[in-house]
Structure 1
Amino acid sequence: MGDFPGVAVITGAARGIGAAIVTGFAESGCRRIAITDILETELADLRKSLLARVNPQDDPEGLTILALPGDITSESFIEEFITAAKTRFGRIDYLVNIAGVGKPYRRSVEVEVQEFDFINNVNYRAAWLCSRAALRIMTAQEPLASPGNNEGWTRPAQRGSVVNIASQLGLVSRPGASAYCASKAAVIGMTKADAIDYSKDSIRVNCVCPGVVETEMTTLSGVVREGLKESVNIAPMGRMGHVREIADCVLFLSSYKASFVQGHAMVVDGGYIIN
């Protein structure tokens, strides 16, 4: 039995951090995974490449991936996606809310209401909607026994784990990003509140707060990379993070190894916020 005997559900999965998280689950023994993203072609490509690599013989007991493209700002789509995952796999054990959008780098008076709403709808509201839909299922399902033990001691069973992706800018702010910073601070606040509410149901809720990570978004152009140079240099480690470094932290928080970690905002930023 691997580290992840249950069912993983990941939003924003098609590329970047999301794709690294899906890959990490598959490589760590999770055999039932549901993924979504608005990027339909990239989502299908990820599914195809992972199945070819992890389950090339199409073993029915091997890796199975349900890929359903859609817009997670739509409540009806979220309900459809979460219901499809439950119908296909019977339960949901690890939810990772990764889908997010960047920041316009303008002061509040220069940001249109539509931009503000879009940032918050994707970064915060969608995570809340996905969590709400998955938590309904988690609270009603039987706990999943921990696959790990240590000298006869076994960790408590859990009904589920939720990991939200926030940001270092949910804890500290920077100029020109009020809507983005607020949306990520909201994710951290939601994480802590849900952790309190669902502890009695044996469900853990945590979040990861990445710093500047090397993705398609941050390396889109030399102008973008140059604009991020100051933020990168503030961090004592002086470099961008790698998507797999973020994925490793998400996998830890999702796993039985983090069985006593609850309501935590894990900062993975090369030291940015301490400097």
Structure 2
Amino acid sequence: MTLFPGVALVTGAASGIGRATALSFAQEGCLKICICDRDAAGLQETAQQISSISKDVEVSIKEVDMLQEDQIVALMDGVVAQWGRVDYAVNAAGVVGNGQRSTSTSAAQFDLTNGVNYRGAWLMSRSELAQMLKQDPLPSHDGRPGNRGAIVNIASQLGVVGRPDAPAYCASKAAVIGMTKCDAIDYSKDNIRVNCVCPGVTATPMTQGDPVFLKKLQPAIDIAPMGRMGTAQEIADACLWLCSSKATFVQGHALVVDGGYVIN
């Protein structure tokens, strides 16, 4: 029996952690997966990779900009019209920020970083919560009481600690952690779980595409006791566990997956 008999929704699914999470849902037997991003070509590639895992998976491709509330509302309406519910939601869409101190950061740059990373995650989570309130729990893998739904927001180790040249980014990810904890309190009585994963430096196109940016990340890699980048699959594994009925008593948690960076 699959741990994921319901409907999964993953934002930021055109690459990186979002793609790895969508593929992992398919690998673990979820047969209804909605993938969302503003990168249409990347979404098509993700969908092809899902199909190579299993032809039985129904994939819904939704091109959406996390800055646009109307697109997020339309996305959720479309998923519910197609499948009637959303059971597992991983909100992985994000940007890295401008990599500058506050005095070198414009208000527009700050607004973009927080608009995607925090406001976009809030808009998406709000829509997911509204739908989950309307649905009954699915059966769990071992007969324990299930949840109405599970949401995982992608924050960052930099929502827990700071680093140089990242005030907008760190603030946006700290906000995601705070939002997650508050929503977990508010919706516990409704049997909906809300958690977040806080990745360390992870090997994705976002972190590896620019050699200058990668060089700036090297000190963070060196600080972590494990001394390496994480993989997108390692972050996806944490997301799927939090979504699964093996985590029915985990609520409002910020799960740090960073090779030990924050403990050093």
Measured against the shorter chain, the TM-score band is over 0.9
SS class of match (1:205): strand
Question: Which residue number in structure 2 is paired with residue 114 of structure 1?
Answer: 108
Unpaired stretches in structure 1, ≥5 consecutive residues: 56-61
SS of equivalent to 2:53:
helix
Q: Give 3-state SS (helix, strand or coil) of 2:22's partner.
A: helix
> TM-score, normalization: structure 2?
0.98
**Structure 2 counterpart of 1:160, from 136, 143, 149:** 149
User: Matched residues in 1 for 2:211 and 2:100: separation?
Assistant: 19
- Larger Rg over CA atoms: 1
Deviations 1:103-127 (A, max 9, x none): 2221111101000000001000011
Aligned-residue offset at 1:155: 1.7
Who is 2:3 aligned against?
Answer: 3
Residue identity matched to 2:27: E
**Which whole-Å CA distance do the structure 2 matches of 1:183 and 1:175 have between them?**
15
Residue 72 of structure 2 corresponds to 78
In 1, the alpha carbon distance for the partners of 2:49 and 2:99 equals: 36
**How far apart, in 2, do the equivalents of 1:263 and 1:198 lie?**
10
Matching residue of 2:27: 27
The 5 A counterparts of 1:119-138 are 119-138=113-132
1:1-275 equivalent positions in 2, closer than 5 A: 1-55=1-55, 62-146=56-140, 148-149=141-142, 154-275=143-264
Asked if structure 1 preserves the Cα contact closer than 8 Å seen for 2:66 and 2:120, the reply is yes
Cα distance, 1:144 vs structure 2 = 1.2
- Matched to 1:185, the amino acid is A
CA distance in 2, matches of 1:30, 1:53: 11
TM-score normalized by the length of structure 1? 0.94
The DSSP-based 3-state class of the residue aligned with 1:68 is strand
Distance 2:99 2:130 in 1: 37
Deviation, structure 1 residue 136: 0.9
* Cα deviation, residue 53, structure 1: 3.2
| Unaligned 5+ runs, structure 2 | none
Distance 2:125 2:86 in 1: 11
SS in 2 for 1:266: strand
Percent identity reads 52
Q: Which runs of 4+ in 1 moved over 3 A?
A: none
Alignment RMSD (CA, Å): 0.9
Amino acid at match of 2:223: I
Contact 2:27–2:53 (Cα < 8 Å) also in 1: no
CA distance in 1, matches of 2:5, 2:80: 15
SS of 1:95's partner is: strand
Q: Kindly tell me the number of residue pairs found equivalent between the two proteins.
A: 264
Instruction: After superposition, give the CA deviation of every residue in 1:201-243 in whole Å (9 maximum; x if it has no partner).
Output: 1100000000000111211133222211111000000000000
